[in-house]
Chain A
Amino acid sequence: MIEQPSLSEDEGLELGLSEARSFPCRPVSDSARALEVGRNRLIVTGLIVVFAFLAVSVKLVGATCFAHREELRGDRPPEPEVFTARGDIIDRNGQLLATSLATASLHADPKLVLDAQEAAAKLVEALPDLEYQDVYDKLTSNKRFVWIKRNLTPRQHYAVHVLGLPGLMFEREERRFYPPGKLASHVVGYTGVDNVGLAGLERSFNKRLNSGSGSIQTSLDLRLQHILHRETVAVVEEFQALGGNGIIMDVRTGEILAMVSLPDFDPQEPGDAEGQQKFDRNALGVYEMGSTFKIFNSAMVLDSGKIHIGDKFDAINNIHIGRFTIHEYHGQHRMLNVAEIFQYSSNLGSARMAVQVGIPTQIAFMAKIGFLKPVPIELPELGWPLVPKPWHEINAMTIAFGHGMSVSPLHVAMGAAAVINGGIMHKPTLLKVLPGQDVPGERIISEHTSIEMRRLFRIVVTEGTAKFANVPGYMVGGKTGTADKQRGRHYTNANLTSFVGVFPINDPAYLVMIMVDEPKPSPTSHGFTTAGWVSAPVVGRVIKQIGPLLGVQPIDEQSPEIRQALEMDIGTKGTALAAYSPDDDH
């Protein structure tokens, strides 16, 4: 009867008791404990599983119903490749200079080609410019990928498509296209087959163009580019010159409005270019510029404060230094003041002025106007100036009239713009400066000196070496330069003629520079090959055409304000002018 209550207990207890009864005390309590432990473990495990499933459920509900939209994006199929083409290059008015057009390129997987002979024959039939043997070799090669032909035209694309050959595939590619052709080839540059910019702006802005951030607006004006190109081509042909180049620049902002270098090339087919065609004379070529350097020499000496415009210098006696002799080409055989030295382009006067202000001043000035480093412009091909080392007195003298130091034409344009625009140096740029945009600048000469230089520029055109550059109404001022070219160690009779023109000179806005390399005498120039006969007239013609396009208001040169602004007393000019002719411009 003792067992009864225990049996009425729950099963486990009854079992335990019966076991306790049937076994010695210790084993009974052990098995009960093990059972207990097992049951607890089961409960814990079950709870863990339940919690895990709960967590998963919560997460699932959250993810499907409440999650942020962005997180769902991962579920979407990848955006079908919306084609981001290489950006366009446009001119300042939005005209296309370079764009990308989509084409199909044909490639093959030789492993999938069933009958290489047949495929090659059909392909050559569809694309006659392919060679059978070449195609056959490609189709039987061991590679898994071979290009057959890049950039098919739509018609060729169709012709190959209808052949229905297995193993041949098309890939969408883009091809660079230059609507204005060779007009701006050196500035815009060109790209290779894989859309990598290899020259010009295409190269310097390669990353930006490929990043899909849109087009690049340059400072170029296609209309001006065309006029400059046409006139430069004409002068190079007329004088059977080796080449020529021209720059039109806005002196107030440093924007390059047009830049031409001849001979040029077709950017569509850069591989066809030969010899000098790809060479950019404006930025990459460095030359001894000749008398245009007197712009900087005069600005330097006037700005130094040591020399005033009326100071006279000996232009009679040749300078003998070491084994060299500096002499005048067409001497005035008298003392000349600073203005006359500029007007008659006197080498002796320039050299003596430079020596008087001293070599350190000259070096410092050349550094200040950036003539000791490449031009800071957005082009990859830039020429380093050739500077004398060490810089002796003889160098100072020859540099005063533009020999013994070589810079690029772009250097001269940049420096002349700064000398004439009020004395502020702006970095030349090929990117459009928006109206109202702040243009950083650095003062290199005082405003007073700059205004004096304007007067000197004007005298050269009205009474000096560049009479043919004059354009009634547009007040051209400028400086000619005719450099003797050096061959080896000797100077030859071959010339490098240049003219830097600025208009309107009373309030300078635009600079036009033309350089002609080795002009040969022509009947129209009466056999002369100096800048006054070669380069200056072209600049005049260019200004005549671009003046109205640029909206420059013609000026009445006889109006009192203008006369007052530009007139200056340069002393004995009356008598000297009578005997003067435009070939005296060395």
Chain B
Amino acid sequence: MLRKSDLLWLSVAAFAGVALFHTSYRVQNLREEISTLDRQIISEQDGIRVAKAEWGILNDPVRLEQLAGTYLTLTPITASQVSGFNALPTRPAVQPGLPGGPALVASAQDKPTAAPGVTRSGATLTAAPVVARGLASGTPAPVVARGLASGTSAPVVARGAAPVTPAPVVGHAAATLSPTLASATVAGPPQHHRVIRPSQPMSGQGLALTRVSADGALAHAPANDEIGKLLTRLGRIQ
């Protein structure tokens, strides 16, 4: 004989049963989903590993050297192609109307991104500046660029990916009061570069670099013609 309370309990039990089944099926589905996702993760991880390994093979220095030798007309950088700001001559005399060094200093310090070669490779200029021109064919481009990015010592600024036929050389540089803050870049297609130009007309190549002595006074006339030599050398390479 079923009483009311029995009916109640029976229905509760039935409901619990249904709920249990439902939950257990959901759990089962979720578990399947998890294992599908796990498998996917594993296969993605495998894919990443394969891609990395392939990248490693493509970046094999031996291979890059062969490619650079075949397709590029560039040669490895030599020490003579690297120079420092200390080697730049001092400005002959005060040019009328030109605010002098400080203008250049300001622009160089305000916009450290003015040197694209530097920013692209992500290197931070911390030590004495070095102007570099040319690119290793023996030591191929991407490797050079990466080396700069992770280099630990004084940076040599070299353009990472050089065009097969280098554009006419544009050498522009920013000089500062303190040589350790200066940055510079040379070479490459001019449109990629932000050229730092003083607002006043300049003599010669349109480049007049001023080196100011520490006390702010302009230094004496140049004893040599280092900048001229530098430009000739750069011109020869193209």
Chain A interfacial positions (CB closer than 8 Å to B): 77, 79-80, 82-83, 85, 88, 92-96, 99-102, 177, 179-181, 183, 221-223, 225-227, 435, 471-474, 509, 544-545, 547-554, 556
Contacts and interface: CB of A to CB of B under 8 A. Distances in A.
B84 interface: yes
A545 B83 contact: no
Nearest to B62: A226
Contacts of B31: 77
Contacts of B127: 553
Nearest to B134: A548
Given A101-B50, A179-B53, A547-B79, 17 more contacts: A79-B38, A94-B150, A99-B53, A180-B60, A183-B60, A183-B61, A223-B139, A226-B62, A472-B79, A474-B79, A548-B79, A548-B82, A551-B153, A552-B154, A553-B128, A553-B156, A556-B87
Contacts of A95: 56, 59, 146
Contacts, number: 123
Given A101-B49, A552-B154, A223 B147 contact: yes
A551 B79 contact: no
B117 interface: no
B78 A553 contact: no
A29 to B, nearest CB: 44
A96 B52 contact: yes
24 contacts: A80-B35, A80-B38, A82-B42, A92-B150, A96-B52, A96-B53, A96-B56, A99-B53, A101-B50, A222-B61, A223-B61, A226-B62, A435-B152, A473-B80, A474-B79, A545-B76, A547-B79, A548-B76, A548-B132, A548-B136, A548-B158, A550-B153, A551-B153, A554-B80
A487 B128 CA distance: 52
Nearest to B42: A83
B139 A545 contact: yes
A180 B132 contact: no
A550 B79 CA distance: 12
Contacts of B150: 92-94
Contacts of A222: 61, 143
B155 interface: yes
Interface SS of chain A: loop
B18 to A, nearest CB: 18
B45 interface: yes
B177 to A, nearest CB: 20
B184 interface: no
A263 to B, nearest CB: 17
Given A93-B146, A102-B49, A544-B78, A554 B83 contact: yes
A206 B104 CA distance: 56
B144 interface: yes
Contact of B130 (A221, A225, A553, A556): A553
A341 B221 CA distance: 46
Given A99-B53, A223-B143, A545-B138, A80 B153 contact: no
A548 B78 contact: yes
Contacts of B237: none
A545 B80 CA distance: 12
With a 10 A CB-CB cut-off, give which of A435, A471, A547, A549 has the most chain B CB atoms.
Answer: A549
A227 B138 CA distance: 9
B82 A99 contact: no
B147 A226 contact: no
Contacts of A552: 153-154
B77 interface: yes
B12 interface: no
Contacts of A80: 34-35, 38-39
